[in-house]
Copies of this chain bind each other. A is one copy, B any other.
Amino acid sequence: MFSLIGDFHNWWNEQLQAHPFHVTPAPLDQLKGWSADQDTGVIRHHSGRFFSVEGLEVSTDHGPVEEWSQPIIDQPESGILGILVKRVRGVPYFLMQAKAEPGNVNLLQLSPTVQATKSNYSRVHQGKAVPYLEHFLAPRRGRILSDVLQSEQGAWFLRKRNRNMIVEVDEDVEVLDGFCWLSREQLAALFAVDNLVNMDSRTVLAGYPLPGTSAGTHNDTASLLSWFTEAKSRYRLERRRLPLNAVKKWIWSHDAIRHEDDRYFEVIGVDVVAGNREVASWSQPLLAPKHKGLVAMLAKRVDGQLHVLMRALTQAGTHDVVEIGPTVQCAPGNHDTSPAFVEHVLKAPKEQILFDAVHSEEGGRFFHAENRYVVVDAGELDDVGPDFTWMTLPQLAEIARYGNHVNVEARNLLACLIFQPSEGR
């Protein structure tokens, strides 16, 4: 364990040296192990595992665009994202891992104890065993603090889910090379560093139990659940798979698939050479967003308790019509006119900013997918409309215990907030 956060950074620099990792662009149509189906254009691995890039046609009455088609990642199997916790003299420590992914900004990021697809841990890669996996597979000895199937990026994944787990153990745990224990305070400090704590860590840590309190809440939980049910009932989301080569407005070249407006994202290919992964080298497609995103919550205090403004959101890949997202979730560069509250967030003076850091999304699927995660004071707001509602952090955390309720962007920001010393227990 590190007594000072500077010790962590020294260790991190050693890890950077110890993880040789090289990523080079590669033509999408010549990726080793991958090919596009002759008839449909669907991009698949020869083994049939991992993931595929497919086409999707979307029709919805929720949001500014009613109909569109897009490439989307289909990964039906869900993996395990697990973090081990151990208390030392009553203080919880989290076992984190330095792990490189080809799409990561900075390549190396702080990852959960276990971050493994079923293909990983059932050894489809023919690689090394996944360390610490035994703590997360039944039968387990540890105490479960959180365990839920959670959604991932709905704009880019079709109904993707991973199992998010936090398991507390009492026994001694050997700290393998590339792993370290971090306290809540240390994690809070690292959340404030850009592109360090990866998405998988953030979504898992969002499940760390908060002491629940509904005192001083603006809306009781029954009303919040009703607001969610109302949105699910109000809107419609219909989807139909398309051949990837039939997706309108998307242009294929030998190196990528792009939108004709040069917006949203590209599907690209990379070759990877890794020093200490299960497999030493591989190639894969990645989804590369064209613009940096903005993930923001407006916040206000009511009777001393922080309330955040949450939004009912429908995206192409949303599991069940709507999930609960942050106030703002978009890439402003994709829009001709700013979506609701974007200007409010971008123009907020420094003293009204409660949290602000850039984090990137899963580097195993997304290339340099950076989002600015920010919480700003709401100030005086007019009526926010039926797609928005206020809730406290304990209410948001309680609802997030149930799968497919709170989306990954909102959970990521929740994790950043609940680990802040002022908001946590």
- Chain A residues with CB under 8 Å of chain B are 78, 138, 144-149, 163, 165, 209, 221-223, 225-226, 229-230, 232-234, 386, 401-403, 405
Question: B residues within 8 A CB of A403?
Answer: 229, 232
- State whether B229 touches A149 (Cβ < 8 A): yes
Question: B residues within 8 A CB of A146?
Answer: 222
- State whether A163 touches B229 (Cβ < 8 A): yes
Across the two chains, which residue of chain B brings its CB closest to A148? B229
For the complex of A and B, list the 6 residue pairs with the smallest distance between their C-beta atoms, beginning with the closest.
A147-B226, A402-B402, A144-B226, A147-B229, A144-B222, A144-B223
- State whether B149 touches A233 (Cβ < 8 A): yes
CB of A310 to closest CB in B, whole Å: 16
A182 to B294 alpha-carbon distance, docked (Å): 52
Q: Do A148 and B225 contact each other (CB < 8 Å), given the known contacts A402-B402, A402-B405?
A: yes
How many subunits of this chain does the assembly comprise?
Answer: 2
- State whether A138 touches B78 (Cβ < 8 A): no
A401 to B401 alpha-carbon distance, docked (Å): 12
Question: B residues within 8 A CB of A138?
Answer: 230, 234, 386
17 A-B interface contacts by CB (under 8 A) = A78-B233, A138-B230, A138-B386, A144-B223, A144-B226, A145-B222, A147-B222, A147-B229, A147-B230, A148-B225, A149-B229, A163-B229, A163-B233, A209-B222, A225-B401, A225-B402, A402-B405
Question: B residues within 8 A CB of A163?
Answer: 229, 233
CB of A321 to closest CB in B, whole Å: 9
A148 to B405 alpha-carbon distance, docked (Å): 12
A172 to B169 alpha-carbon distance, docked (Å): 56
Question: B residues within 8 A CB of A229?
Answer: 147-149, 163, 403
- In addition to A221-B401, A402-B402, 11 A-B residue pairs with Cβ atoms within 8 Å of each other are A147-B225, A147-B226, A147-B229, A148-B229, A149-B232, A163-B233, A209-B222, A222-B401, A225-B401, A229-B403, A402-B405
A223 to B402 alpha-carbon distance, docked (Å): 13
Question: B residues within 8 A CB of A145?
Answer: 222
Most buried by B among A149, A209, A233, A403: A233
Across the two chains, which residue of chain B brings its CB closest to A167? B226
A163 to B147 alpha-carbon distance, docked (Å): 27
Across the two chains, which residue of chain B brings its CB closest to A402? B402
CB of A334 to closest CB in B, whole Å: 31
A181 to B165 alpha-carbon distance, docked (Å): 46
Across the two chains, which residue of chain B brings its CB closest to A223? B144
Question: B residues within 8 A CB of A148?
Answer: 225, 229
Across the two chains, which residue of chain B brings its CB closest to A226? B147
Question: B residues within 8 A CB of A78?
Answer: 233
CB of A323 to closest CB in B, whole Å: 12
A78 to B235 alpha-carbon distance, docked (Å): 12
CB of A59 to closest CB in B, whole Å: 14
A232 to B148 alpha-carbon distance, docked (Å): 10
Across the two chains, which residue of chain B brings its CB closest to A405? B402
